[in-house]
């Protein structure tokens, strides 16, 4: 579907060329009085301006705090609405709280993206300074008793008011209340001080643990070794699979040291025919130094202490309080049900692998055998003549297909916008996309930073630079009513100064059909794909796993664009952790659908070739066969079971078990591994004592007690897909889909029942509406049981 032609000169409809042929781009030469700085902000032309902006932001935040305290606490009594118009007073207070959060997050979120993506160290340093300053100030607000009293007072006045227009505001209020309570606002001064100390320790120890988990050797430890070895003969036996980089072999022993998590080690584990070699490599990958295990156990115990001090039984209760599943018991029930359903399929996959073992072998499939026999199984099922085996898709093709897909199902498309100045983007390969809704016009901006470069953060990520929010109710001039004590610093040596308190300015616009003005979302969508070859003028081509990654991350971006709410705190992806992955996993389903595959394949044909429909359909069929016969397709249950194992371990590590003086994380980890091992393995039992991989499980820091979320959202996404978009559901749909599998009516249903609320509505209510299952609406045990029974394999 063609995008509409824009009337502004700096727009282009040629999405594909912007990514695949960057050498053809023309710079925007529009003259402006003050060209935009970084990410379109005129205030950010130089790094030092970011530090100055953070200080101005902090001063303005101090003014807003003073305004809230004087306007909404009963003992100040300067606001007549408090007694006579409690509903309006509550809405005003939530607007003020949300604005306070937004003013801070405009710079904190901006700094987060800069420090992870900007290639210049001056900007990274400034971003770290700004982020640290404002984050520390935000932490002080979480223990601000007068702020809490103001919120608690106005919320209590409308607690029994079920007016629908209060729903989103109450959701925001409850989020703030939980934040206050998690930081011990109800505790005595001594206990609150202790809680702050524990919280600081959690952050410090957690960062050290995560850094060690991500490094090749774990946390620093004298005498620890992070290398394993191979020989020239072992390398010769797998040939070119070892990779292009030559290894340095010792002249006497004929050995070369290799990193356990480097490509040569992975190649030996995957392709070497000797189980002895594979076992050596596998064991080297499961090592963690004592210091790394100690850091993990310290983190877990600190979290337990924090939970007990705040009145919870364990850290999982702290984390799950505002999640869809709500309690550790519900999480474990979901995981147990999925494990029970998955285990027979894992055993069948293991049986297929055993059939490839040498005749007469009575050995089970050991952990170091799985990759080797999995690739043999794939090789035995794949046809070398299937053209889909070598198919790659350009980045521009994928973005163009995504734009067409969103246009078809949501009425949303992309237009490439040239940066309005050289400072707006941080790398010449970054592409700026304007997001256009056919009814509302421009609804947001996505900066696509999709290609690898030195010192760029690895992997794929979605950075929220700015959230949507209603702005016309701010009444910013009233911030100066209550200036506070000019001799009392806001934080450190930063004193109140109304003349230097201008926050980061954002553009606002009206939304058709809505009252008021809104700021629009801006996100950065980052991947580390191989960049286009600027010398040979060849585009970046993606393997299918990379295409799925791109579609997945775009799911977060489009959620930010559609989920525009009145409050920044519940906008877009600011929703429960066990709901936030749902839109992205749905995008993976879209990527595998016939209409999308058909467009990707047709587009990938050379522009001067007119691919016949029959050829395209044959390629689609071949590609589906190729995917079914891939390792991801043939070992799907085994991979799911591995994730289940980690989710169970995550819950165990965040239970009361860590309170025991005898707690041993290595013992508990190995117990879970044995419990979730699909087949017994005597050799594995002998080596269990040296398997300490759990201390490298970095997600225990960022996703502690919520690692189950991806599995939970996979189940829900599959159910939504089968209900709305699967052309051949079981049982058959009544009435069946129209000719087009990607029916616009169902796209609108997904958009308006699920995505548009961001985090402003209980996700269970959204699921009940989109699936027409009333039993889901109240959440809780019964709703979890419904989801558990859906499973993944029916």
pLDDT in tens, 192-224: 989 989 998 999 999 999 999 987 655 544 434
Q: What is the pLDDT of residues 681-715, one digit of tens each?
A: 434 555 656 799 999 999 999 999 999 999 999 99
Contact 255, 280 (CB under 8 A): no
Would the pLDDT of 319 be above 60? yes
- How far apart, in whole angstroms, are the C-alpha atoms of residue 514 and residue 628? 47
Contact 224, 218 (CB under 8 A): yes
Q: Helix, strand or coil for residue 442?
A: strand
Angle at 83 between CA 77 and CA 88, to 5 degrees: 105
The residue with greater pLDDT, 614 or 394, is: 394
Residue among 483, 442, 186 nearest 310 (CA): 186
What dihedral do alpha carbons 470, 472, 477, 481 form, nearest 10°? -70
Q: Residue 619's pLDDT band (boundaries 50, 70, 90)? A: confident
pLDDT score, position 80: 67
The residue with greater pLDDT, 682 or 36, is: 36
Contact 415, 30 (CB under 8 A): no
In order, the DSSP letters of 154-216 are HHHHTTT---GGGHHHHHHHHHHHHHHHHTTTTS-HHHHHHHHHHHHHHHHHHHHHHHHHHSS
Residue recorded with tokens 């991989």 = 693
Residue recorded with tokens 């989710």 = 647
Residue among 461, 573, 427 nearest 113 (CA): 461
Residue recorded with tokens 């600011």 = 574
- How far apart, in whole angstroms, are the C-alpha atoms of residue 674 and residue 429? 48
pLDDT score, position 224: 45
Q: Average pLDDT for residues 244-270, to the nearest whole number?
A: 89
| CA 581 to the chain's CA centroid | 7
In order, the DSSP letters of 85-140 are -HHHHHHHHHHHHHHHHHHHHHHHHHHHHHHHH-S-HHHHHHHHHHHHHHHHHHHH
Please give the sequence-ordered ranges of beta strands (E in DSSP) within 303-460, or none if there are none. 393-394, 412-417, 431-437, 441-451
Contact 265, 284 (CB under 8 A): yes
- How far apart, in whole angstroms, are the C-alpha atoms of residue 497 and residue 59? 7
Residue recorded with tokens 């509406």 = 769
- Cis peptide leading into 735, omega within 30 of 0? yes
How many angstroms separate the most distant Cα atoms in the chain?
90
The residue with greater pLDDT, 84 or 323, is: 323
- How far apart, in whole angstroms, are the C-alpha atoms of residue 519 and residue 517? 7
Percent of the chain with pLDDT over 70: 89
Calculate the average pLDDT of the chain: 89
Domains of the chain, by residue range, sit at 41-187+472-505, 228-285, 708-790
Residue among 151, 153, 125 nearest 48 (CA): 125
Strand partners, 496: none
Q: Average pLDDT for residues 732-754, to the nearest whole number?
A: 79
- How far apart, in whole angstroms, are the C-alpha atoms of residue 489 and residue 641? 54
pLDDT score, position 738: 46
Would the pLDDT of 608 be above 50? no
- How far apart, in whole angstroms, are the C-alpha atoms of residue 356 and residue 314? 46
Which DSSP letter does residue 575 get?
Answer: S
Would the pLDDT of 9 be above 50? no
Q: Average pLDDT for residues 285-303, to the nearest whole number?
A: 96
pLDDT score, position 485: 67
pLDDT score, position 444: 98
480 is written with which tokens? 């100066």
Contact 20, 395 (CB under 8 A): yes
74 is written with which tokens? 């009963």
Contact 130, 107 (CB under 8 A): yes
Name the phi and psi angles at 158, rounded to 5. -120, 15
Q: Average pLDDT for residues 788-792, to the nearest whole number?
A: 95
- How far apart, in whole angstroms, are the C-alpha atoms of residue 392 and residue 601? 9
Q: Helix, strand or coil for residue 420?
A: coil
Residue 595, number of CB atoms within 10 A of its CB: 19
- How far apart, in whole angstroms, are the C-alpha atoms of residue 153 and residue 71? 11
Contact 692, 218 (CB under 8 A): no
Strand partners, 131: none
Contact 529, 451 (CB under 8 A): yes
Residue recorded with tokens 């979302």 = 521
- How far apart, in whole angstroms, are the C-alpha atoms of residue 411 and residue 589? 19
Q: Helix, strand or coil for residue 66?
A: helix
426 is written with which tokens? 């941080």
The set of catalytic residues is: 553
**DSSP H/E element including 597:** helix 594-604
Buried b (16+ CB within 10 A) or exposed e, 434-461: bbbbeebeebbbbbbbbbeeeebeeebb
pLDDT score, position 683: 46
- How far apart, in whole angstroms, are the C-alpha atoms of residue 167 and residue 154? 14
- How far apart, in whole angstroms, are the C-alpha atoms of residue 697 and residue 702? 10
Would the pLDDT of 516 be above 70? yes
- List of residues 6+ apart from 60 with CB closer than 8 A: 103, 479, 501, 502, 503
Would the pLDDT of 291 be above 80? yes
pLDDT score, position 626: 84
Q: Residue 604's pLDDT band (boundaries 50, 70, 90)? A: confident
Q: Average pLDDT for residues 70-78, to the nearest whole number?
A: 76
**Pairing status of strand 522-529 against strand 441-451:** parallel
Residue among 644, 710, 654, 579 nearest 328 (CA): 654
**Pairing status of strand 541-542 against strand 393-394:** antiparallel
Would the pLDDT of 558 be above 80? yes
The upper half-sphere exposure of residue 471, i.e. CA atoms within 13 Å in the direction of its Cβ, equals 16
443 is written with which tokens? 């609804």
Gyration radius of the chain over CA positions:
28
Strand partners, 519: 469, 508
Which DSSP letter does residue 279 get?
Answer: H
Q: Residue 152's pLDDT band (boundaries 50, 70, 90)? A: very high
**Pairing status of strand 431-437 against strand 522-529:** unpaired
Q: What is the pLDDT of residues 221-235, one digit of tens each?
A: 443 446 899 999 999
């Amino acid at each position: 579907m063609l995008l509409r032609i824009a009337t502004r000169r700096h727009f282009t409809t040629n999405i594909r060329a912007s990514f695949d042929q960057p050498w053809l781009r023309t710079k925007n030469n529009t003259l402006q009085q003050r060209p935009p700085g970084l990410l379109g902000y005129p205030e950010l032309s130089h790094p030092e301006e970011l530090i100055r902006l953070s200080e101005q932001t902090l001063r303005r935040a101090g003014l807003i705090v003073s305004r809230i305290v004087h306007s909404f606490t009963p003992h100040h009594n300067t606001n007549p609405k408090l007694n006579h118009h409690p509903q309006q007073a509550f809405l005003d207070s939530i607007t003020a709280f949300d604005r306070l959060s937004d003013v801070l997050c405009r710079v904190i979120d901006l700094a987060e993206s800069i420090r992870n993506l900007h290639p210049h160290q001056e900007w990274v340093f400034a971003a770290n300074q700004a982020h640290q300053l404002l984050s520390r100030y935000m932490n002080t607000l979480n223990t601000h008793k007068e702020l809490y009293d103001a919120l608690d007072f106005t919320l209590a006045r409308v607690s029994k008011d079920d007016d629908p227009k209060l729903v989103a505001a109450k959701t925001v209020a409850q989020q703030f209340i939980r934040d206050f309570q998690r930081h011990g606002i109800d505790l005595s001064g001594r206990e609150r001080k202790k809680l702050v100390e524990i919280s600081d320790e959690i952050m410090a120890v957690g960062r050290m643990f995560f850094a060690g988990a991500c490094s090749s050797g774990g946390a620093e430890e004298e005498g620890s070794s992070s290398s394993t070895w191979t020989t020239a003969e072992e390398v010769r036996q797998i040939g070119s699979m070892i990779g292009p980089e030559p290894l340095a072999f010792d002249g006497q022993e004929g050995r070369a040291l290799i990193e356990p998590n480097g490509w040569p080690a992975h190649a030996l584990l995957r392709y070497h025919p000797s189980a002895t070699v594979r076992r050596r490599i596998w064991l080297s990958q499961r090592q963690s130094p004592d210091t790394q295990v100690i850091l993990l156990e310290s983190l877990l115990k600190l979290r337990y202490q924090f939970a007990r001090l705040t009145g919870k039984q364990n850290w999982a209760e702290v984390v799950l309080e505002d999640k869809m599943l709500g309690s550790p018991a519900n999480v474990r029930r979901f995981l147990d049900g999925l494990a029970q359903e998955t285990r027979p399929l894992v055993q069948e996959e293991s049986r297929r692998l055993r059939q490839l073992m040498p005749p007469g072998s009575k050995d089970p499939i050991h952990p170091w055998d799985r990759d080797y026999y999995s690739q043999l199984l794939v090789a035995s099922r794949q046809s070398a003549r299937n053209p889909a085996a070598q198919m790659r898709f350009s980045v521009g093709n994928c973005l163009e297909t995504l734009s067409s897909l969103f246009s078809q199902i949501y009425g949303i498309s992309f237009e490439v916008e040239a940066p309005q100045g050289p400072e707006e983007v941080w790398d010449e390969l970054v592409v700026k996309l304007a997001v256009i809704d056919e009814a509302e016009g421009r609804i947001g901006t996505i900066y696509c930073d999709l290609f690898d470069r030195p010192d760029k953060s690895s992997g794929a990520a979605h950075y929220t630079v700015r959230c949507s929010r209603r702005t016309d109710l701010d009444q910013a001039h009233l911030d100066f009513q209550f200036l506070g004590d000019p001799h009392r610093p806001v934080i450190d040596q930063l004193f109140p100064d109304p003349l230097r308190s201008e926050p980061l300015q954002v553009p606002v616009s009206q939304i058709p059909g809505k009252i008021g003005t809104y700021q629009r979302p801006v996100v950065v969508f980052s991947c580390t794909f191989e960049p286009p070859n600027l010398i040979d003028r060849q585009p970046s081509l993606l393997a299918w796993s990379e295409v799925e990654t791109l579609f997945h991350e775009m799911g977060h971006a489009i959620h930010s664009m559609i989920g525009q709410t009145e409050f920044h705190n519940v906008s877009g992806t600011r929703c429960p952790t066990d709901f936030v992955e749902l839109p992205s996993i749905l995008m993976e389903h879209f990527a595998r659908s016939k209409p999308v595959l058909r467009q990707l394949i047709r587009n990938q044909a050379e522009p001067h070739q007119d691919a016949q429909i029959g050829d395209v359909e044959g390629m689609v069929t071949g590609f589906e066969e190729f995917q079914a016969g891939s390792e991801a397709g043939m070992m799907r249950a085994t991979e799911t079971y591995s994730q289940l194992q980690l989710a169970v371990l995550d819950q165990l590590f965040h239970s009361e078990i860590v309170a025991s003086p005898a707690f041993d994380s290595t013992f508990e980890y190995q117990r879970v591994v044995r419990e979730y091992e699909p087949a017994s393995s005597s050799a594995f039992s002998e080596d269990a004592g040296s398997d300490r991989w759990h201390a490298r499980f970095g997600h225990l820091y960022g996703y502690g007690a919520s690692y189950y979320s991806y599995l939970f959202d996979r189940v829900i996404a599959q159910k939504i897909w089968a209900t709305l978009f699967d052309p051949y559901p079981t049982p058959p749909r009544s009435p069946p889909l129209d000719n087009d599998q990607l029916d616009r009516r169902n796209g609108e249903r997904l958009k308006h029942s699920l995505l548009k609320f961001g985090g402003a509505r209980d996700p269970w209510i959204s699921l009940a509406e989109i699936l027409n299952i009333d039993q889901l609406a109240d959440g809780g045990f019964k709703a979890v049981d419904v989801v558990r029974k859906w499973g993944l394999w029916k």
